[in-house]
């Protein structure tokens, strides 16, 4: 069964850090671009970051650039989102996802490019 499961969310104070993890099962991550998205109630899901499998390039939304880092560990079949200097505006449910197409050239944080998806994990940035 193909599945992605996130962990590492929670409550953090502004300026703090969190690392989200996502473990894949039923398939291997090594051939797929990966991405993180987030969603706030009442708003559309927003692309946060992606990591290309073809060239290792990364892309970040302007709102998180310089604060978030995406990575993956193929040996552990896991992907990560390191978040630092967190702001209340980062509060959201965060989702991990993998590309629908193996070995795609490049990556884009476009929802239609991705599936499967994790179930989502809450991150709350508040004092």
pLDDT in tens, the chain (127 residues): 899 999 999 999 999 999 999 999 999 999 999 999 999 999 999 999 999 998 899 999 999 999 999 999 999 999 999 999 999 999 999 999 999 999 999 999 999 999 989 999 999 999 9
Distance between CA 114 and CA 127 in Å, rounded? 34
Per-residue model confidence (pLDDT) at position 98: 96
Distance between CA 59 and CA 36 in Å, rounded? 11
CA nearest neighbour of 123 among 73, 74, 100, 89? 89
Q: How many CB atoms lie within 10 A of CB 40?
A: 13
Per-residue model confidence (pLDDT) at position 40: 96
CA nearest neighbour of 83 among 25, 28, 8? 8
Per-residue model confidence (pLDDT) at position 70: 98
Examine residue 116 and say whether the peptide bond preceding it is cis (omega within 30 degrees of 0): yes
Per-residue model confidence (pLDDT) at position 81: 98
Per-residue model confidence (pLDDT) at position 59: 96
């Amino acid at each position: 069964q193909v599945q992605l499961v996130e962990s590492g969310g929670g409550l953090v104070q502004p300026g703090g850090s969190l690392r989200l993890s996502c473990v894949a099962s039923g398939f291997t991550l090594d051939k797929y671009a990966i991405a993180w998205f987030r969603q706030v109630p009442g708003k559309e899901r927003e692309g946060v970051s992606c990591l290309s499998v073809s060239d290792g390039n990364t892309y970040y939304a302007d709102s998180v650039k310089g604060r978030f880092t995406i990575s993956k560990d193929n040996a552990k079949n896991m992907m990560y989102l390191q978040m630092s200097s967190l702001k209340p505006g980062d509060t959201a449910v965060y989702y991990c996802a993998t590309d629908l197409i193996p070995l795609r050239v490049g990556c884009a944080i476009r929802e239609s490019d991705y599936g499967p998806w994790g179930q989502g994990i809450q991150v709350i940035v508040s004092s």
